[in-house]
Amino acid sequence: MLGLCDSIAFVSNMTPNPDSPRIRHVSGPATMDELAAGLIWPRLLRAPLMAVEPSRLLIAFIAVAVLLGSAAVFDSVAGQPVFTPTAQLTQETLYQIAAAVVQLDFGAVTQLSHAYIVGLRTVGDHSPWLLLLFIVFALPIVSLSGGAICRIAICDEARNWRLTFAEGVAHALARWRDCILAIAAPVVILVLLGLVIKGAGAILFISPIVSIFGAILYGAALLATTVFLILIVALGLGHMLLLPAVAADPADWVDALQRAYAYVLGRTGRLLLYLLLCAALASIAISVSSWLVGSSLDLTAALVLPDDIAPTSSPAETAPDLPAATSAAIRIVSVWERVVIAILLGYWLSLYFTLSSTLYLLVRRVNDEQDVRDIWAPSSMAAAASDAQ
């Protein structure tokens, strides 16, 4: 009798309760969301694919095309090619660094970074004022395009809101001051601090007699330089978080700086692990995309173009003895290839800001325990999203 009662109780417990939530068993392959349920960091793994999203890629492509076109204009002002070769050097260096990271050749990464810095110094020595003018011109382009991409990426990652090209650009233009200052202000502050330390050293050691007081105060200079170095390291670690902070939260550029560097100092170890994962993902994506684009260009040229038409990186490289029609064809083909290269560089730019947006949401979650879905949105946008759901 007791066994029968137990059997009846067991069957009754197996009977589904209409008031209890039901579990749906869906056949098919598991999605990333299902595999990463309860985890945070796997969200970064989707960034290389999400960076190809049309609105982000279009914004990045336009920004890169404008920068490359302006580099050609600055070359004409300088009287010789300076900025366009620098852009090519940047592309080649990024690809070589990515390949070195994939191969775990960190010595090559250091050598390539040093060679790139030397190349930038050469440009600065040749045309310092033109370089400064180009940086001032490029800053709002990079800041606004980055702000738009970050907003699109954050809305997609946090709420699955699909913002259009126009909506992303409109948000960046509405927050243009915060986007630009979030990128520029930390660099300007560090440059000013470096100039202050440099100037103080020049004054304290201006003469043999004054140098005695300078030697006495050298300990203070060591302390100030150490603090300056810590700020530089913090800037390097937290600079990726600045534009996403403006895009995700109702914060101005000052609040963005405070948030980003508080996160750097709050969970530095976790941030370093996330940054290493971002570097690995970016290196693989850059290597694969570079191989794909390079192979496509080479294969297309081998299959389609005749021997007398070879694309050039500059119209000036076209042989003068060629027929006018052949020269025109070479230039048109070269333009098409430069468009493809600009799309490749645009993908890299979109990837950077997509990774930084996801990274910000994850670091904010780790430090403040703030839900990843918690982002700022205008009331009209939130209401429209609620109605859509």
Mean pLDDT for each 10-residue chunk of the chain (389 residues)? 42 42 42 48 85 95 93 81 78 85 82 80 73 88 95 91 92 93 90 88 82 83 88 85 90 86 85 90 93 91 75 52 74 88 94 94 88 77 49
Chain-centroid distance, C-alpha 62:
15
CA-to-CA distance for 113 and 111, rounded, in angstroms?
Answer: 5
**Residue 190 class from Cβ within 10 Å (0-12 exposed, 13-18 middle, 19+ buried)?**
middle
**Count of CB atoms within 10 A of residue 58's CB?**
18
Q: Which of 293, 377, 261, 275 is nearest to 91 (CA)?
A: 293
Give the C-alpha separation, 331 to 52, whole Å.
28
For residues 186 and 242, the answer to whether their CB atoms sit within 8 Å is yes
Amino acid code (one letter) for 79: G
Token pair, residue 31, equals 């999605």
Chain centroid to CA 148? 12
Cβ pair 353, 48 in contact under 8 A:
no
Amino acid present at 269: G
The pLDDT of residue 181 = 93
Tell how far CA 318 is from the center of its chain.
36
pLDDT of res. 8: 39
CA distance 70 to 13: 73
Q: Which two tokens stand for residue 8?
A: 């009846």
* Predicted pLDDT at 24: 41
- For helices 176-204 and 165-174, the axis angle rounded to 10 degrees is 50
